Amino acid sequence: MIKEFQYRFEELSVTSAEVEELMGFENRKVPEPFPELIQNGLEQAPDFTQIKGGYKIFELAVIDTENQTIQIEDLIFSPAKVVTTQLKNASAAALFICTAGTKISAHSQQVAAEGDTLLSYVFDVIGSLTVDKAMDKIEDNLKREMSATGLNISDRFSPGYCDWSVADQQKLFALLPPQFCGITLTESSLMNPIKSVSGIIGIGKNVKQLGYQCNWCNDRNCIYGKMKRKKNN
């Protein structure tokens, strides 16, 4: 089963507070000139986003927690311990991709070339947040769809995180239609458009959503992890 979605930026309800948090600001302590820049960025974002995403559902052939691999059709993924442990009870999986489109990154680069590096950064963060919130909506749709059949879903996991090699995106994209949702891969397994995400969601009666746990991941540069660690200090 394949599902595709398109969203207008306004449907995502992105707020200034969410942008501020992703930028690392807390408790409304946002220095000038960021409040105005963020507001300007959010007002312009509808003109620079082309939000598309979707998923394809597969039966899982083998989940090997000992060797930390997942087989889908004839391809074997090696997503390491965290993902195989969370998906060990899955009977199926949704492979997903989502993008904010090419325009927002191009506009961010153009603004930087014109000398406004702060506004460029704001657009870069809005692009990242756009993809994340669009995937939230796609995940919610999958959850409702599976719940209607008595099934649950896991959290979503992406190559490049939780010790899962980004190279596995080559296999993930091989199982999806060519240029699905307008997203392609480079030889180095980076997605184009840049502001895109891909990954897997487990499906099954005994699968659970646990919420993201930063102790699962050793990526010290992850901005979400930095935010959580800062809050816990």
pLDDT at 137: 97
Q: Position 7: which residue type?
A: Y
Angle between helices 34-44 and 117-147 (to 10 degrees): 60
Q: Each residue of 137-158: pLDDT tens digit?
A: 999 999 999 999 999 999 999 9
Cβ neighbours of residue 189 closer than 8 Å, sequence gap 6 or more: 159, 166, 167, 168, 169, 170
pLDDT at 218: 58
List the domain range (segments joined by +) for residue 49: 2-232
Residue 231 pairs with which residues in a beta bridge? Answer: none
pLDDT at 183: 97
Tokens representing 29 are 């302590």
**C-alpha–C-alpha distance, residues 26 and 22, integer Å:** 9
What's the pTM? 0.91
Domain count, the chain: 1
Q: What is the pLDDT along the chain (233 residues), one digit of tens a residue?
A: 999 999 999 999 999 999 999 998 877 789 999 999 999 999 999 999 999 999 999 998 889 999 999 999 999 999 989 999 999 999 999 999 999 999 999 999 999 999 999 999 999 999 999 999 999 999 999 999 999 999 999 999 999 988 899 999 999 999 999 999 999 999 999 999 999 999 999 999 999 998 765 555 555 555 555 545 444 44
**C-alpha–C-alpha distance, residues 37 and 121, integer Å:** 10
Cβ neighbours of residue 212 closer than 8 Å, sequence gap 6 or more: 155, 224
Identify the CATH number of the domain in which residue 203 sits. 3.40.109.40
Distance from chain centroid for Cα 78:
19
Please give the C-alpha separations between residue 112 and each of 28, 128, 129, in angstroms, as whole numbers: 26, 17, 19
H/E run at residue 201: strand 196-204
